[in-house]
Amino acid sequence: MNLAGNPLKRTQKLDTGRVRRFILPDRKIRVTQITTFCPDIIGPGPTHLYLIENDALVLLDTGIPTKLAKRFFYDSRNQIIPPEIEALPEDYSKQELLEGLHLAGHSIKDVDLLVITHGHPDHFLMGRWIVEQANCPVTAHALDTSDICNPWGMLEMWFNLRQRTMAMGMPQPKGVSDSNHFYMEDVNPESIGFSLKVDFPIMQEGLLTLNHSSLKGIEVKHLPGHSPGSVGLIVGQEGSEKVLLCGDVLLSPITPHPDDLLTYLRTLEKLKNLQDIVLALPAHGKVIRNVKARVDFLQKYHRQRLKITYKTCRKPCSAWDIATLPDYFDIAVDPSKFNPLAGNEALMHMEVLQMVQGLKRVSINKGVHLFQNQGEPFEEVYNRILDLVKDQRINPIMRY
C-alpha cells in the first residue's frame, strides 16, 4: 500500500507537472495524480487530474488549456501576465496530461470514461480535446450540465457576473462600461466554444457507471455548495479504507469558494459523517490527510467570516466593502480591480446572514446594495444559522 504518493515525476516550474501514484490499501485500485498548469494567486493554482485504474480507466477532470488560462485569469481582470507564464507554450497543460498518462503506463486513447467533478472552467475546458482523442463518454452531475454543455456558457457567465458584481459595488473588468452596453474586446464567440457534451448526467449517488454497468470500488457522492452539481468519488473496495477524490469541495491551503454557503455548510456536515476515508485528494493544492480536521477548520473559517461580515455591517456595507477588508479573502484583494471570487465570498456570507434576519438590505445606492446588521449579539445570529443548516427543508428563494 502506498498512500504517501509515490512520485513518478516531480514538480517543474510554477509548481506544476508533478505525477504521483497512490495505491489503495486493497492494492487493487491505483490512483495517479497528474498536475496541470493553472495560475496560482490570481487563480486556484495547478489543477490535479486523477487517473483511476480499476476495471476501467477513469479520468477525473481535464484541466484548462494553457492559452485559455492566460486569458481567463489575467486578461479579463485587466492584469499583466507574468513573463514566465506568458512564455508557456499554448499546449503546456495538454503535454502535462499526456506525459502523466504515459508515466502511468497508458495513452490518452485508453481512457474509458471522463468524469467532471463540477462545471468550473479549470475542470472541464480541456474535455473536448480529450474526448476527441479517447472517444470516451463523459459524465457529470445533472445540476452542472448547464455550465458544461452550453456552448455560450462562458458568455452567459460574463453577462450574469456583470450585473451581480455591479450590485456588489465591484469595479468592472476591461471592456465593461457603466452603461447597459456590454462587450469584451476580441471575443470571437466561435473561439470560446469549449463546451462539452455530457453523455450520462449523474442523477443520484451510488456506484459510478460506464455503459450502464456499475464500476465496483468507485462511488459517486453529491457534494454541492461549491457549485450545485459538485461531486466527489469515493474510491476503494467495500470494507476497506478509502480515498475521497473531492474536486474543489475540500482544498488546502486555500479554501473552496462556496457559490451557496448554506448548501456548502450542509455538505461539510455530510463529509464529517463519511466512514473509512483515510485521505482526500483535491483538485488543487495539498493532499488532505486528516479529512475531519480539514472539515472542522472550514466550519470554523466560515463562522469567522460570518462574524467579520456581521460586525462590519454595523454601518451599511456593500459586498465589495466586505470583500476588500484586510485578510478577509484568501489572497490580497486590490479594491480597484475586478475580482468576482472575492466579491462572491462576501456575498455568500451576507446571504446566509440575511436569511436569519441578522442583516437587512437598508438601501440601494446607485445600483449598489447595502446591508446593515440589527444590533443583536453575533452568537444569537450564528445559532440561528446552525439551525438553518440542520433543517434541510429550508432553501433560499430570493437570492441577492
Strand partners of residue 57: 53
Query: Shortest gap between Cβ of 292 and Fe ion (angstroms)?
Result: 22
Nearer Cβ to Fe ion, position 262 or 283? Answer: 283
Per the CB < 8 A criterion, the answer to whether 254 and 291 are in contact is: no
Q: Is 48 a residue that touches Fe ion (CB under 5 A)? A: no
Query: Shortest gap between Cβ of 120 and Fe ion (angstroms)?
Result: 3
Nearer Cβ to Fe ion, position 73 or 382? Answer: 73
Task: Rule CB under 5 A: choose which of 122, 219, 260, 351 binds Fe ion.
Answer: 122
Query: Shortest gap between Cβ of 85 and Fe ion (angstroms)?
Result: 17
DSSP state, residue 81: P
- Which range touches Fe ion (CB under 5 A), out of 40-48, 267-275, 331-339, 346-354? 40-48
Q: Distance of alpha carbon 324 from its chain centroid, rounded? A: 21
- DSSP letter for each residue of 234-289: EES-TTS-EEEEEETSS-BSS----SSHHHHHHHHHHHHT--SEEEEEESSBS-BS
Q: Is 120 a residue that touches Fe ion (CB under 5 A)? A: yes
Nearer Cβ to Fe ion, position 120 or 222? Answer: 120
Task: Rule CB under 5 A: choose which of 17, 44, 121, 285 binds Fe ion.
Answer: 44
- DSSP letter for each residue of 307-321: HHHHHHTTS-B-HHH
Binding mask 50-79 for Fe ion (x = CB under 5 A): ------------------------------
CB atoms under 10 Å from CB of 305, counted, come to 20
Query: Shortest gap between Cβ of 192 and Fe ion (angstroms)?
Result: 18
Burial class (CB in 10 A: 0-12, 13-18, 19+), 239: exposed
Closest CA to 35 of 46, 44, 45: 46
The C-alpha cell that represents 151 in the structure block: 456552448
Q: Is 248 a residue that touches Fe ion (CB under 5 A)? A: yes
Query: Shortest gap between Cβ of 51 and Fe ion (angstroms)?
Result: 18
Query: Shortest gap between Cβ of 224 and Fe ion (angstroms)?
Result: 12
Q: Is 259 a residue that touches Fe ion (CB under 5 A)? A: no
| Integer angstrom CA distances of residue 351 from 40, 118, 181 | 28, 23, 28
Please report the sign of the dihedral spanned by the C-alpha atoms of residue 108, residue 111, residue 116, residue 117: negative
Amino acid identity for residue 153 in this structure: G
Query: Shortest gap between Cβ of 263 and Fe ion (angstroms)?
Result: 14
Nearer Cβ to Fe ion, position 158 or 310? Answer: 158
Query: Shortest gap between Cβ of 119 and Fe ion (angstroms)?
Result: 8
Q: Is 121 a residue that touches Fe ion (CB under 5 A)? A: no
| C-alpha–C-alpha distance, residues 248 and 81, integer Å | 24
Query: Shortest gap between Cβ of 61 and Fe ion (angstroms)?
Result: 8
DSSP state, residue 335: T
Binding mask 274-293 for Fe ion (x = CB under 5 A): ---------x----------
| C-alpha–C-alpha distance, residues 3 and 23, integer Å | 6
- Which range touches Fe ion (CB under 5 A), out of 42-50, 157-165, 179-187, 233-241? 42-50
CB atoms under 10 Å from CB of 343, counted, come to 25
Size of the site for Fe ion (CB under 5 A): 5
Nearer Cβ to Fe ion, position 124 or 371? Answer: 124
Nearer Cβ to Fe ion, position 5 or 44? Answer: 44
Interface with Fe ion by CB under 5 A: which residues?
Answer: 44, 120, 122, 248, 283
